[in-house]
Amino acid sequence: MNCPKCKAAMEIVVFEDIEVDRCTACKGLWFDSRENERLKSKRGSEVIDSGDPKTGRRNNTIPYVRCPRDGNPLIRMVDPAQPHLWYETCSTCGGAYFDAGEFRDYKNLTVLDFIKDLFAKPRA
Ligand SMILES: [Zn+2]
Ligand SMILES: [Zn+2]
């Protein structure tokens, strides 16, 4: 499989029992059907996101990216809780693409949001 952004080969990396494809050049990550959500909940899983966030930010601006599995256009997703974080998903196979550094961000902010939620709760 080739990277949907820079077209370099992707290699399989495994964290616990979850397989993810990582680009050998830009280190973008491809997750098959909702594996990003499964992996997000695993402690330490951000180690798979080993790329340079600078490269990720540059690649983040590439429009009209196609799914590396089925060639359908990927849809850009913006999480309302993390509006600076854009990632791409395929509505056909359910896969998701994260640029280098974005998966760490995706995980970290969840922890921050969780802490914010704790403080936001009204005290009884
Ligand atoms: Zn790449
Ligand atoms: Zn797809």
pLDDT tens per residue, range 44-86: 999 999 999 999 999 998 888 999 999 999 999 887 777 878 8
The reported pLDDT for the residue numbered 79 is 75
Provide mean pLDDT across the span 105-122.
70
Ligand sitting nearest the alpha carbon of 52:
1
Separation of 118 CA from ligand 1 center, angstroms? 38
Q: Indicate if the pLDDT at residue 99 is higher than 90.
A: yes
Q: Indicate if the pLDDT at residue 120 is higher than 80.
A: no
For 78, the token pair is 């913006």
**What protein residues have CB closer than 5 angstroms to ion ligand 1?**
3, 5-6, 8, 23, 25-26, 28
Report percent pLDDT > 90 for the chain.
68
Ligand sitting nearest the alpha carbon of 21:
1
Tell me which of 114 and 88 has the higher pLDDT.
88
Separation of 39 CA from ligand 1 center, angstroms? 20
DSSP 35-103: HHHHHHTSTTGGGG--S-HHHHHHHTT--S-B-TTT-PBPEEEEETTEEEEEEEE-TTT--EEE-TTHH
Vertex 111 angle, CA 56 and 82, to 5°: 50
Separation of 22 CA from ligand 1 center, angstroms? 8
